[in-house]
């Protein structure tokens, strides 16, 4: 059975990643997509990056806002703020220590080329065409109304995004690496033709926002996933897979399975959430 997996924000939690990968790889996936935020806050950023670099399964690694902050600091590319201070404020010091450095400037000058290449080559988005009519669009934070979807997909590198933001006078929160409220309040028909899978906003934080706003088309699977549906037709529009690894001690993967026994193109979703001691497998049912 062909299957494709998407893994949420890791933030240096290598024990959670190892447990999750052990189970995901048992399904022999066609590919694994990581939605970004490998580093910061948690204690083992380097180990996370090395583990991903060592995977034999085809992987696609997206840029998260934490990697963007790191690259901004490395290249002095802040817009209206000190990029080094912003990265430190958001957990960058834990990353420095994980890579064996005691200061930002020694990190900047001494980071191994393989790690620098990993960060610079992270993708802006990734599309998985599961059937002729069904496509999953993976991004870090969501779809931003400030950038047309086709433009978001067209961007390939960190430099593409940085140039676009400068040329269109956009702030970081306007990008698809930072967006939150504007994404959740927008009409999902903006990205018709795609099911968006993303991280960035811990599900517990999203739950508070949705409860406060009284929106009814967001379905929460405990504090591990949030499935958003179109209000008019009930189809799935987006899925948040950020379980809040550092804060909650939980990491989630989302899998799409093509079950040919139930007819060509039949799709089902499964998820796996791991803690240091437990695993929570879930059958999320068919994709409509």
pTM of the model: 0.95
Q: What is the pLDDT of residues 187-240, one digit of tens each?
A: 999 999 999 999 999 999 999 999 998 888 999 999 999 999 998 888 999 999
Query: Contact, 259 vs 1, CB < 8 A?
Result: yes
Q: Is 199 exposed, middle or buried (0-12, 13-18, 19+ CB in 10 A)?
A: buried
Provide the domain limits for residue 59.
2-286
Q: What is the pLDDT of residues 255-275, one digit of tens each?
A: 999 876 555 457 899 999 999
**From CA 240, how far away is CA 203, in angstroms rounded?**
7
Q: What angle do CA 162, 167, 172 make, to 5 degrees?
A: 45
Query: Contact, 162 vs 220, CB < 8 A?
Result: no
Q: What is the pLDDT of residues 1-12, one digit of tens each?
A: 899 999 999 999
225 strand-pairing partners: 221
- Look at the chain and count its residues: 288
Phi-psi region of 151 (alpha: psi -120 to 50; beta: other; left: phi over 0): alpha
Give the CATH number for residue 254: 3.60.21.10
Name the domain count of the chain: 1
Listed in sequence order, the DSSP H helices in the chain are: 14-25, 45-53, 65-75, 83-89, 92-98, 104-110, 113-120, 149-154, 158-167, 181-185, 203-213, 245-248
């Amino acid at each position: 059975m062909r299957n494709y997996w998407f893994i949420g924000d890791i933030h240096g939690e290598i024990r959670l990643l190892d447990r999750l990968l052990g189970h995901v790889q048992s399904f022999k996936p066609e590919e694994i997509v990581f939605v970004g935020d490998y580093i910061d806050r948690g204690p083992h950023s380097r180990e996370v990056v090395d583990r991903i670099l060592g995977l034999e399964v085809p992987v696609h690694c997206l840029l998260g806002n934490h990697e963007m902050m790191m690259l901004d600091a490395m290249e002095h590319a802040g817009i209206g703020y000190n990029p080094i201070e912003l990265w430190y404020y958001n957990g960058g010091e834990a990353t420095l220590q994980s890579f064996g450095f005691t200061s930002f400037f020694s990190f900047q000058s001494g980071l191994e080329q393989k790690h620098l290449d990993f960060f610079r080559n992270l993708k802006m988005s990734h599309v998985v065409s599961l059937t002729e009519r069904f496509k999953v669009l993976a991004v870090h934070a969501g779809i931003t109304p400030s950038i047309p979807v086709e433009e978001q997909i067209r961007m390939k590198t960190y430099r593409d995004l940085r140039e676009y933001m400068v040329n269109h006078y956009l702030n970081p929160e306007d990008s698809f690496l930072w967006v939150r409220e504007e994404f959740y309040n927008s009409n999902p028909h903006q990205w018709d033709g795609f099911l968006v899978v993303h991280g960035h906003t811990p599900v517990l934080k999203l739950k508070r926002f949705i409860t406060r706003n009284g929106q009814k088309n967001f379905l929460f699977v405990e504090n591990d996933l949030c499935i958003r549906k179109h209000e008019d037709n009930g189809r799935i529009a987006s899925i948040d897979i950020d379980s809040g690894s550092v804060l909650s001690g939980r990491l989630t993967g989302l899998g799409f399975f093509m079950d040919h026994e139930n007819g060509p193109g039949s799709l089902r979703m499964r998820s796996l959430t791991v803690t240091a001691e437990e695993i929570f497998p879930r059958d999320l049912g068919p994709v409509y």
